Structure 1
């Protein structure tokens, strides 16, 4: 016969214990997987944006001149700067190389977009910023070239 306390629906160790174990399951997901997912997701956003700019450069220049209306910078300078930042940032973030600097650079891009271009899209910008802030504050994680470089540098110090 089974003891009453061993039954899942009885006592504090029963349903409540099962609930606690289920709720804590995500804590077993390695944080580096979260970091990797954040990097891949945000890299994809900026890579796609850069590719659409490059696909039709004359349209891109028109957008920078007529729709984006960035103050203090000529559209013929802003367009290549933005495209270069998106390509460079997305590749570095994806690879996890100089990730924190790349995240900082892309946060600057997001800030410009939010303030001057599409302020009504704040929720989307907040999402991108959250992923970039994760990389900026916690690094790229184990699955990154930053981690490989750290291991090499640490080994060379010994």
Structure 2
């Protein structure tokens, strides 16, 4: 004996099927689009930070001496190192070339800021770090120079 659907169960099963389709819809978004968005977002943050440092170098040196105060590294060395890391990491991420290395550089910057400079800004740092961990673990994606290089330069055994 088979159960006959009642009037109340038919619309409910239709809603469940519609819900399941809606939940699956974002899975159609290519991961490479997510990777590109992550790269551009984080690159923008660190590019802007580096540009503000370069806009007024004397103020940057004062910030590193008075506010940032990294241990073991004098401000005259810390400021150019941080600025270089931000520019390098941002450019590598933006173009998706050596993107994992760029992500690693910026994760180092974030870790330094979190531990020594602004430990209370952990939520913002975690957001940036999450995007960088995506790039570090999954790479730059199909929309990157890394992908072009991998396509043009086959692996040798």
For the criterion TM > 0.5, the same-fold answer is yes
Equivalent in the alignment of 2:107: 107
1:127-151 deviations in Å (ceiling 9; x for gaps): 0000000000000000000000001
**Coordinate RMSD, CA, aligned:** 1.8
1:86-105 deviations in Å (ceiling 9; x for gaps): 00100000000000011001
**How far did 1:10 drift?**
2.1
Q: What is the CA–CA distance in structure 1 between the aligned matches of 2:42 and 2:102, rounded to whole Å?
A: 11
Equivalent in the alignment of 2:80: 80
Q: In the TM superposition, what are the counterparts of 1:119-134 in structure 2 within 5 Å?
A: 119-134=119-134
Equivalent in the alignment of 1:52: 52
1:27-83 deviations in Å (ceiling 9; x for gaps): 000000000000000000000000110111110000000000100001000000000
Q: Does 1:15 align with 2:15?
A: yes
Q: What is the CA–CA distance in structure 2 between the aligned matches of 1:34 and 1:130, rounded to whole Å?
A: 12
Q: What is the CA–CA distance in structure 2 between the aligned matches of 1:127 and 1:10, rounded to whole Å?
A: 43
Q: Does 1:39 align with 2:48?
A: no
**How far did 1:12 drift?**
5.8
Equivalent in the alignment of 2:117: 117
Q: What is the CA–CA distance in structure 2 between the aligned matches of 1:49 and 1:150, rounded to whole Å?
A: 31
**How far did 1:11 drift?**
5.1
**How far did 1:13 drift?**
3.9
Q: What is the CA–CA distance in structure 2 between the aligned matches of 1:52 and 1:16, rounded to whole Å?
A: 52
Gap regions ≥5 residues in structure 1:
none
Q: What is the CA–CA distance in structure 2 between the aligned matches of 1:77 and 1:10, rounded to whole Å?
A: 70
Scaled by the length of structure 2, the TM-score of the pair is 0.91
Q: SS of the residue aligned with 1:143?
A: coil
